[in-house]
């Protein structure tokens, strides 16, 4: 066996093992949530359900607060991702244009934010001063602009052929016209990558809601999930529905809520995966 073949075999085995360490906990949670309470309470469930039982998911699907928090999470994820793409891509395109004055100074200021992030108290005061406290905008706006995203997009935009921009100007396009009609259509790969990064981060974020949100109706799904995992929410829900006492355990409810909160973002990934494979130079011309 050639050395290259051996390396590829070892590399594949290592990646498969690493993938299993990430997938198996989710499979275990799914098996626990679908098992009989007696097996779940005795911790006899592995990677396959024992005593098939879907009462946990019937309870979750029938829970109004759960669906309301899911709607909040979907709203802040979709809106926040679109806003981040708009702001970061427009700023990155401006920084990639040689004609922009002061772009080097502005870029240095953006890079500084990698090292010095805004402290908690000043950030809270800014959000409150802008009137966004206890609104969903407090979960969307503060993280809409990221230096990491801007630098990635700027590097990609600089790799696009300058002849495309010149051809657009000859056809009467302004800089904004080049951005909308030429740059964005050729940037599907990088936009999809950034969208997935931001959407996953937005979906999993809960600290901002702990700081800025007061109304129960505005709590995202991750706050509800946190309550189930760290507090007695599972016990309270089980006691609130008497027939659930014999049909589930708190561990089963926790597992079901985790699956319920993780599944939506997992469904999105296959639709964006192809853009990772195509690479960052998708659509650009070679000079």
pLDDT at 231: 56
Task: Look at residue 280 in the predicted model and tell me its pLDDT.
Answer: 42
Mean pLDDT, to the nearest integer, of 7-24? 87
Tell me what pLDDT residue 286 has. 42
Confidence at 233, pLDDT banded by 50, 70, 90: low
State the pLDDT at residue 277: 58
Cα–Cα–Cα angle for 52, 55, 61, nearest 5°? 130
Dump pLDDT digits (tens) for 191-218.
888 888 898 889 888 888 888 988 888 8
Please state which CATH class domain 57-278 belongs to: mainly alpha
Q: Which residues contact 144 (CB under 8 A, 6 or more apart)?
A: 80, 83, 84, 87, 88
Position 251 pLDDT exceeds 50: yes
Residue 234, pLDDT above cutoff 70: no
Domain ranges of the chain: 3-53, 57-278
Range ranked top by mean pLDDT from 45-54, 140-149, 171-180, 219-228: 140-149
- What tens digit of pLDDT does each residue of 254-268 get? 888 888 888 888 887
Taking residue 131's Cβ as centre, other Cβ atoms within 10 Å add up to 10
- State pLDDT tens for residues 45-83: 878 888 787 788 888 787 778 888 889 999 999 999 999
Q: What is the largest CA-CA distance in the chain?
A: 74
């Amino acid at each position: 066996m050639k050395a290259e073949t051996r390396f590829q075999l070892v590399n594949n085995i290592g990646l498969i093992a690493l993938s299993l360490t990430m997938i198996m906990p989710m499979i275990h949670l799914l098996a626990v949530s679908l098992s009989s309470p007696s097996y779940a309470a005795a911790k006899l469930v592995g990677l396959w359900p024992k005593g098939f039982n879907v009462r946990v998911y019937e309870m979750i699907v029938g829970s109004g607060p759960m669906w309301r928090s899911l709607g909040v999470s979907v709203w802040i994820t979709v809106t926040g991702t679109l806003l981040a793409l708009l702001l970061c891509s427009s700023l990155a395109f401006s920084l990639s244009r040689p004609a922009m004055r002061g772009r080097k100074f502005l870029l240095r200021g953006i890079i500084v934010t990698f090292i010095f992030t805004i402290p908690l108290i000043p950030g809270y005061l800014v959000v409150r001063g802008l009137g966004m406290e206890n609104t969903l905008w407090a979960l969307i706006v503060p993280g809409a602009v990221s230096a990491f995203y801007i630098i990635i997009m700027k590097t990609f935009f600089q790799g696009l052929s300058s002849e495309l921009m010149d051809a657009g100007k000859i056809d009467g396009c302004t800089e904004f016209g080049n951005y909308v009609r030429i740059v964005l259509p050729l940037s599907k790969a990088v936009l999809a990558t950034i969208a997935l990064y931001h959407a996953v981060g937005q979906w999993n974020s809960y600290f901002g809601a702990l700081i800025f949100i007061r109304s129960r109706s505005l709590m995202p799904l991750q706050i509800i999930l946190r309550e189930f995992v760290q507090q007695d929410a599972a016990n309270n829900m089980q006691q609130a529905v008497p027939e659930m006492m014999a049909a589930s355990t708190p561990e089963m409810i926790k597992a079901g809520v985790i699956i319920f909160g993780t599944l939506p973002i997992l469904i999105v990934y296959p639709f964006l995966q192809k853009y990772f494979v195509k690479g960052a130079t998708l659509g650009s011309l070679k000079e």
